[in-house]
Structure 1
Amino acid sequence: MRITVGVDGTRYTDEVEPRMLLVHYLRERLGKTGTVVGCDTSNCGACTVHLDGHSVKSCSVLAVQADGCEVTTVEGLARDGRMHPVQQAFHDNHALQCGFCTPGMIMQAIDLLADDPDPDDHAVRHGLEGNLCRCTGYQNIVRAVRDAASKMAPGAGPAAEQVSDSAITAREASHTGGGS
């Protein structure tokens, strides 16, 4: 089947097998290896990407289902050589150990913050519960998400301006009736 999909701001048209998973399309065809293959059963969340502004586990989505959609991977978050505020917060708060879950955690955290820009610890834990960290770095991950939220708050400075990420932009458009 022929699909056309936008990935990290670039449009791709490819022939894919109907059964090809989005995670394999991103990694094998497009070289987006930041999208990690974890469990292949949608249990771990390591493969989380944004599909039209909402987080999805790309091991549970067929590439053909992304036809006509916009996909953002962890590689597509940085702008002008600067990390996305959530990426920076994960770095600043040492919210990783082995790093395997980190891309999925970051993508899910951005989606969480689009829905709840000022979550408490409980809300962060609840919002990330579908993503697993085998190194048990949850304390630092929660701290990083809360730190990112504070830096992304209106009037928080340059980091707040960078939050033109596709997840938030698409979510705002859908809430105002101009969505995809």
Structure 2
Amino acid sequence: MENLPTTRSDPGNSGVSSVTLRVNGVDHRIRIDNRTSLLDALRERLGLTGSKKGCDHGQCGACTVLLDGRRVNSCLIFAVTLDEREIRTIEGIADDDSLHPLQQAFLDNDGLQCGYCTSGQICSAVGALAEADRGWPSYVTEDVTEGIASSAALSRAEVSERMSGNLCRCGAYVGIVDAVLQAADTHSDQGRQK
């Protein structure tokens, strides 16, 4: 019995389920159609419109959010599969009233133009830096057996590769890479001060 999913289908209305979405530290109990994507649940049911619908096919990255700390395309995941999982959107990236270091770095480095892709870019960058801190190699990591030491060791090529799932139709890629590198340095500096 312990391994049964906590999502419950409504027996009187097949295709509709109740689910608890834990978004930015807050639990939201909602009834939704089983075919509803996480992106649509966030935007239409919870009013969290920071994640954008670009392609609705997982190809642009505008909908990127963090699921249990890992970046995912929210347009590709059914919300009913995420009962009580930890979801973090752009609205919950900053821990307090100040900007997250990546948000500040995007401003400092002109890492945006129209802004449509920015929330997905920032969420993806948060995930990419966490992956680097875990030592996970990318396609361009020179020695995949070694991985990388931390996000502070990221090169421009590493950042470009790790962010390649996020498109910017305005072409702000230089600023985006600069922003991620600045945030990686800030993260590294904060770690040394602790």
Fold shared, TM-score > 0.5 on shorter chain = yes
After superposition, the C-alpha distances for 1:24-64 in whole angstroms (9 at most, x for unaligned) are 00001111100111100110000000011100000000111
TM-score of the pair, normalised by structure 1: 0.85
Q: 1:33 aligns with which of 42, 49, 65?
A: 49
List aligned pairs for 1:52-131, cutoff 5 A: 52-116=68-132, 117-118=151-152, 119-131=154-166
Give ranges in structure 1 of 5+ residues lacking alignment: 162-180
Whether the aligned pair in 2 keeps the contact of 1:150 and 1:156 (CA below 8 Å) is no
After superposition, the C-alpha distances for 1:113-156 in whole angstroms (9 at most, x for unaligned) are 01211211011010011110001110000000000000111446
Higher relative contact order (Cα pairs below 8 Å, separated by 6+ residues): 1
Q: Per-residue deviation at 1:65?
A: 1.5
Larger Rg: 2
Identity %: 44
TM-score of the pair, normalised by structure 2: 0.79
Aligned residues: 159
Matched, 1:153 2:188: yes
Matched, 1:51 2:70: no
Please give the alpha-carbon distance, in whole angstroms, between the structure 1 residues aligned to 2:74 and 2:60. 11
Residue 19 of structure 2 corresponds to 3
Q: Per-residue deviation at 1:80?
A: 2.1
Residue 34 of structure 2 corresponds to 18
Give ranges in structure 2 of 5+ residues lacking alignment: 1-16, 133-150
Question: Per residue, is there more helix in 1 or in 2?
Answer: 1
Hey, which bits of structure 1, 4+ residues long, moved more than 3 A?
A: 154-157
- What do you get for the CA RMSD once the two structures are aligned? 1.4
